[in-house]
Amino acid sequence: MKLFTKYNRISMAAMAGLFLIVGIVYYILLSKVLVHEVDEALGKYEKQVHKYVSKNDSLPVFKNFEEVQVEYHVTGHYREKVISQAVIYNHDDRKSEMFRLIVFSQRVNGVWYEVTVAKPLEGTKLLTRTLVYSTLVILLAMISITVLLNRLILKKLWRPFYASLDEMKGFRLGSQQAHILPETNIEEFAVMNAILSQAISGAKDDYRILKEFTENASHEIQTPLAIIRSKLDLVIQDEDLSEGQSDSLKSAYAAVTRLAKLNQSLLLLAKIENQQFTGVEQISLKDKLEEKLEQFNEFWRGNHISVHTVLNTASIVANPELIDILLNNLLSNAGRHTTEKGQIDITLAPGKLRIANTAKLDGLDTTRLFGRFYKESQYSKSNGLGLSIVKQICEHSGLNIQYAFAGQQHVFTVTWDV
């Protein structure tokens, strides 16, 4: 969930709660104010009764009070004034209504009367509801406009942050693409961009130094390895060697050969990461695969491996040397890891190459499969860089490679946009 989305949800919930509380409090306060106005009106009616009696020595008639109901009862003694609320049946409207009552004593010609003046509250309630609803609608409209403006403003304010985030998503070590973070006048984002720029620059420098070291070391190692292999060739050919010496030299020669292959693989990875394979052209994968099948045919027959192919016309725009290495690694990997008398299935279609082979073991570790120096078992003679090279070539060439274990087969699928 995005930060400003969460902020909006929290603020909306807070505003809704505040809106409800304010509405209730406003309704109660407005009701009290209007009831107080009614009480003041009833007090005026009381004064008018007292004034009328003092002038006329008689109680006023009901018609003199328009919207109120007045009742007189002889009590014979004085009672304290009381203001209360009650439900009274309205004969004119033929329904019960809420009234505000004032009950006070009035002496007329030596006789005490209890005077009850009742004023309806329906008009007050209607006015209260109208005012409350009108006010709440205005408040709701204001809150809605505020939330909308807040959302638009926050979206604009956070735009530099998301622009920097998108730029960082595209950051790849070894990429030649320049990463320029957007300028902003918001201090926090400006500080963040400065720190990110320093981190990117530092990472690129460290990566460049590491690549240069790997490449230089690989180049420097090639010469002594070639010399060692050459000398071992000469020594192995010496007829005066004992059988034990010959076996030791052969083991040393195999180890040097393996080291040379490892060095070549590391050098190839460094070249790919350094973007040294830049030339691209239209490549017919069908022709390439037929060529590779011919090259691997003798090896497969010697290991009693059957090969089934379905090759349709398909082409790709990429570096020919890298595609050649990619096919070599995938096909040799399939041959090495196929069971004796097993089977390799190769399917080529526009935008898709599928290579499957009968598995010797269970499925491979997909989290480490394309990592460097990953081996199916610790006793494998492979240097563990073949699939890492395949992955690097795919990323460099805009291809996508996936692995699956299905039907007791290792399945590698390479896809690309047609």
| Domains of the chain with bracketed CATH | 3-153 (no CATH), 189-273 (1.10.287.130), 281-415 (3.30.565.10)
What pLDDT is attached to residue 64?
45
What pLDDT is attached to residue 174?
62
Strand 306-311 vs strand 343-349: parallel, antiparallel, or unpaired?
A: parallel
DSSP conformation class of 240: T
Concatenate the DSSP letters of all residues of 265-300 into one string.
HHHHHHHHHTT-----EEEEHHHHHHHHHHHHHHHH
Beta-strand ranges (E) seen in 78-215 are 82-90, 95-108, 111-120
Residue ranges of the chain with pLDDT lower than 70?
A: 1-5, 62-66, 90-93, 123-125, 128, 172-178, 215, 218-219, 238-240, 274-276, 365, 372-384
How far is residue 24 from each of residues 17, 20, 126, 143, measured CA to CA in Å? Answer: 11, 6, 16, 17
Beta-strand ranges (E) seen in 248-387 are 281-284, 306-311, 315-318, 343-349, 352-358
- Consecutive H or E run containing 200: helix 187-236
What pLDDT is attached to residue 3?
64
Is residue 355 within 8 A of residue 344, CB to CB? The reply is yes
| Span 164-182, pLDDT tens digits | 887 777 776 666 666 777 7
What pLDDT is attached to residue 354?
92
